[in-house]
Amino acid sequence: MANYKLEINDIAYEVDVDEGTSLLWVIREHLGLTGTKYGCGIAQCGACTIHIDKTPMRACVLQVQDFSEGQKIRTIEGLSENGDHPLQKAWIASQAPQCGYCQSGQIMQAAALLEENPNPSREEIKSKMNGILCRCGTYLRVIKAIEMVAKNEIPSNS
């Protein structure tokens, strides 16, 4: 066991875990931040997408010892304290979620896209979102939600 210091969602954590422990398991099992999902374990589906220093990455293949103090990790819980981030509102308004399993990964990938490019074209959205798999096939609704945020067209009642 080793002690690791992590900054997740602007909160400093210390965890004692074995070297080689997946960052995903630290986030979910040791810190109780269960919004980030385990999907495939090989960085192919994107359900575990988080931000490392504002860059979307797959937590399932990252190991806790690879992080240094000062790196900022953001999970879906850190996107908005009350679940009212514009993307979260747009997701509901566009009826993007079905089973919901990929949603945190989808939203985290979309948040990184919009932070980098606040007004992406449909092709840019498709390109950046291409690596997040949706078992229910709600890709068109996901694109619609991202376009709603980019155009600031989120209904006030959502």
Q: Quote the distance between the C-alpha of residue 69 and its chain's center.
A: 21
Give tens-digit pLDDT for 44-98. 999 999 999 999 999 999 999 998 888 999 999 999 989 899 999 999 999 998 8
Query: Which own/partner pairs from 35-40 qualify as long-range (CB within 8 Å, at least 24 positions apart)?
Result: 35/75, 35/76, 35/77, 35/104, 36/75, 36/76, 36/104, 36/105, 37/101, 37/102, 37/104, 37/105, 39/101, 39/102, 39/105, 39/133
Give tens-digit pLDDT for 28-37. 999 999 999 9
Residue 153 to residue 158: CA distance in whole angstroms? 11
Please, what are the domains in the chain? 2-78 (3.10.20.30), 86-150 (1.10.150.120)
Instruction: Indicate the SS3 state at residue 98.
Output: coil
Residue 147 to residue 1: CA distance in whole angstroms? 45
* Residue whose structure tokens are 């931000």: 51
Give tens-digit pLDDT for 90-147. 999 999 988 888 999 999 999 999 999 999 999 999 999 999 999 999 999 999 999 9
